[in-house]
Amino acid sequence: MSEVSWQPLHGVSVVSIAVNLPGPAAAARFIELGACVVKVEPPSGDLLAWAVPTYYAELVAGQEVLILDLKSDAGRRELEILLADADLLLTSHRTSALERLGLGWAAVHARHPRLSQVAIVGHRAPRDDVPGHDLTYQADLGLLTPPVPPLVPLADLSGAERAVSAGLAALVRRASTGEASYVQVPLDEAAAVMAGPLRHGMSGPGTLLGGAVPGYGLYRSSDGWLAVAALEPHFLRRLTEALGVTGTADELAAAFATRTSAQWQQWAADHDIPIVAVR
């Protein structure tokens, strides 16, 4: 069965009031799984739409986008109509902000007992009102190399996937017990999971994935760089035999400097070795 036709969440309704990146990324994944998603944005819109309109358009594809002022009585009434028929509420506000909007879990659960909530927060309660962003979560975990900012907001995106997992778990729990759930998804914890290889010495300078193994690393070609990932013994043996070297870093560097990245990538494909030109 193709992924396009596999829609296990067909019939599931998700209402998202989560803006910026983690919420929209999670909502997009719910769409991929077949759910119906209504995205509620404030009158000012989603900052992501202003900052990166192409990415915003990609993430909201297939969703119904409504503009509601949740600080007004009319806006909250319209939201309540949506929540009455929804299975999941996805939020990314600080807890105190949700309380001010009348959307704290206790109040929402009292009005909509079948509705589960997945709350994306920066930190787990009682620190769920402490401000933060992907950059600060990564900084706190030692994932940055100043002055270069991270290429990928991994806390936001891994948090989005964890939010989807939490939503799926809430749906399973309701199906088996009839009870709705409230689940916090802290982005700092999502980042901490992503930092596991660094914390355990698997990645970072001089480690298994950071240069200690000559067959796994970055090498200059005659016109750029190559990502060489001959980590497993059979790949490394195939690489060294094909090149006629013993496999030291100096030998590999000298060999890879003799051809272009495109030539090496084709050579690697012919020899079934994981080598790719760095874009």
Which phi and psi (to 5°) does residue 197 adopt? -60, -35
**Mean confidence (pLDDT) of the chain:** 96
pLDDT band at residue 1 under the 50/70/90 scheme: very low
Q: What is the rounded CA–CA span in Å between residue 238 and residue 13?
A: 51
Which phi and psi (to 5°) does residue 182 adopt? -120, 125
Q: Is 3.40.1410.10 the CATH classification of the domain at 13-197?
A: no
Mean pLDDT of 21-49: 97
Residue 150 pLDDT: 94
Quickly tell me which residue has 């002022």 as its tokens. 69
Residue 98 has pLDDT above 80, yes or no: yes
Q: What is the rounded CA–CA span in Å between residue 205 and residue 63?
A: 43
In Å, how far are 31, 36, 146, 177, 184 from 85, measured between CA atoms? 17, 11, 47, 19, 22
Residue 58 pLDDT: 98
Q: How do beta strands 116-121 and 182-186 pair?
A: parallel
- State in Å, rounded, how far the first CA of the chain is from the last one: 33
The β-bridge partners of 117 are 89, 182
Residue 146, Ramachandran bin (φ over 0: left; ψ between -120 and 50: alpha; else beta): beta
Delimit the domains of the chain by residue range. Answer: 13-197, 208-277
pLDDT band at residue 3 under the 50/70/90 scheme: low
Mean pLDDT of 41-65: 96
Question: Following CA atoms 118, 119, 120, 121 in sequence, which dihedral angle do they give, to the nearest 10 degrees?
Answer: -160
pLDDT tens for 216-239 read 999 999 999 999 999 999 999 999
Quickly tell me which residue has 């750029």 as its tokens. 224
Mean pLDDT of 139-165: 96
pLDDT band at residue 6 under the 50/70/90 scheme: confident
CA 87 to chain centre: 22
pLDDT tens for 249-265 read 999 999 999 999 999 99
Q: Is 3.40.640.10 the CATH classification of the domain at 208-277?
A: no
Residue 81 has pLDDT above 90, yes or no: yes
CB 190 within 8 Å of CB 163: no
Task: Write b or e for each residue in 166-179: b if 16 or more Cβ atoms lie within 10 A of its Cβ, otherwise e.
Answer: bbbebbeebeeeee
